[in-house]
Amino acid sequence: MNDLNAASTPDLLARAAHVAEEVAGPHAAEVDRLAVFPAAAFAAVRNAGLLSMMVPVDQGGAGADLADVARAAEILARQCAATALIFAMHQIQVACLVHHGDQPVLRDLLRDVVGDKLLLGSATSESGIGGDIRRSRCALQVRGEAVTVEKDASVVSYGTDADAILLTARRTADSHSGDQVLVACRGADLEIRQAGQADMLGLRGTRSVPYRLIGRAPAGAVFEHTFDRILAETMMPYSHVLWSSVWLGLASAALAKAARFVQAGARRTGAGASVPAERLANLSATRQTMRALVEDATRAIGETAVPDRSAPRFIAQLNHLKVSVSSMAVEVVSGALMVTGTAGYRDEGEFAMGRLLRDVYGGVVMVNNDRLTATTAQLLLAVRSW
């Protein structure tokens, strides 16, 4: 274990704050304008030992828990939501490896996340199935001790900057669409070809692009646990908490601008509470609710035994978290625009809201809130005690 990895939670969060303020923030506007991977921010994230912060101490990481990682994502999102979302997506894959990757090939990959500071990406979405990640069209092809997957991935973030991608596929060519496995393909064994338009409205630094992927891996890189199980026990709950933390950080960035605007106005005029100040108070209350929801869900994950994470009530709570927090983030950022008025509507200056507004809509369309609500409505039909 090296010194960087042997860090306490306050130290890790201080490093996240340093990366956010000194690197991610100053580069955020350019990353957005050019729609490029936030390379400087990730060099700093790597150097700060943050990529392996959630890997257990006995495997060389810092042993941070989900609450710590959520705080780090929020801190990064206050400066650059694209950096924060990439950080969050990487940590979700790390959690899958830590909880489900017992085989030697997967342990080796986790070891290299620590030692070589690898960045992990994800390809669950696929052309032709919409946002329903519980189904796959592509299938694992087994040739001796190796496997191959050819996938038309409808969206993959930072695909060409990831050192390995965890992707879903049907177990065999004869399997039904819901019989899925998760396989880890290292960058050197991946052919990746852009297969559609790259330009997005917001979160442009994530480089979320359609790709044709051809991944090869040793057979031991296929997780023994079914994807269904990995999704229920780890990927879904961790995703919703970490993504929500990004939307919370983004909302906080907008709120801070709105607060500075209102406070400067009050100092200038000497007037007391105004309509914008009241609006700010309401937005602050919404942000408080967002934080409470994230913390409550994080606690619920810690308190829910792993087999119980398939229970409708647990899934509903996590789905509610994602839908509520992403919607409230839109409310806070657009409310902050109302507070700042034309100063926020301008594309430059300290109150500019444009990038935050474009980024925040990513939260509601990324795994569409309407799709999640439809799933939750179906699940709640089975809940007997309210």
Ligand X SMILES: Cc1cc2nc3c(=O)[nH]c(=O)nc-3n(C[C@H](O)[C@H](O)[C@H](O)COP(=O)(O)OP(=O)(O)OC[C@H]3O[C@@H](n4cnc5c(N)ncnc54)[C@H](O)[C@@H]3O)c2cc1C
Q: Which is nearer to ligand X, 5 or 124 (CB)?
A: 124
Q: Which is nearer to ligand X, 181 or 280 (CB)?
A: 181
Site for ligand X in 201-230 (CB under 6 A): 203, 206, 208
Q: Which is nearer to ligand X, 73 or 258 (CB)?
A: 73
Per CB under 6 A, 122 contacts ligand X: yes
Site for ligand X in 344-363 (CB under 6 A): 362
Distance between CA atoms of 75 and 71, rounded to whole angstroms?
6
Q: Which is nearer to ligand X, 7 or 155 (CB)?
A: 155
Per CB under 6 A, 370 contacts ligand X: yes
Provide the token pair at 194. 């852009």
Among the listed residues 40, 365, 379, 380, the single contact to ligand X using CB under 6 A: 365
Site for ligand X in 228-287 (CB under 6 A): none
Per CB under 6 A, 187 contacts ligand X: no
Distance between CA atoms of 348 and 28, rounded to whole angstroms?
13
CA angle (88 as vertex; 84, 90 as ends), nearest 5? 120
Q: Which is nearer to ligand X, 24 or 262 (CB)?
A: 24
Site for ligand X in 145-184 (CB under 6 A): 155-157
Report, in Å, the least distance between residue 202 CB and ligand X: 8
Query: Which value, to the nearest 10 degrees, does the dihedral of the CA atoms of residues 315, 320, 323, 326 take?
Result: -110
Per CB under 6 A, 190 contacts ligand X: no
Per CB under 6 A, 131 contacts ligand X: yes
Identify the DSSP state of 57. Answer: G
Q: Which is nearer to ligand X, 248 or 283 (CB)?
A: 248
Identify the DSSP state of 304. Answer: S
Report, in Å, the least distance between residue 53 CB and ligand X: 20
Q: Give CB contacts under 8 A, 24+ apart, made by 7-12.
A: 7/49, 7/53, 7/62, 9/64, 9/68, 12/49, 12/50, 12/53, 12/62, 12/64, 12/68, 12/72
Query: What CA–CA distances, in Å, run from 325 to 83, 290, 295?
Result: 19, 6, 12
Distance between CA atoms of 224 and 243, rounded to whole angstroms?
26
Contact residues: ligand X, CB under 6 A: 89, 121-125, 130-131, 155-157, 203, 206, 208, 362, 365-368, 370-371, 374
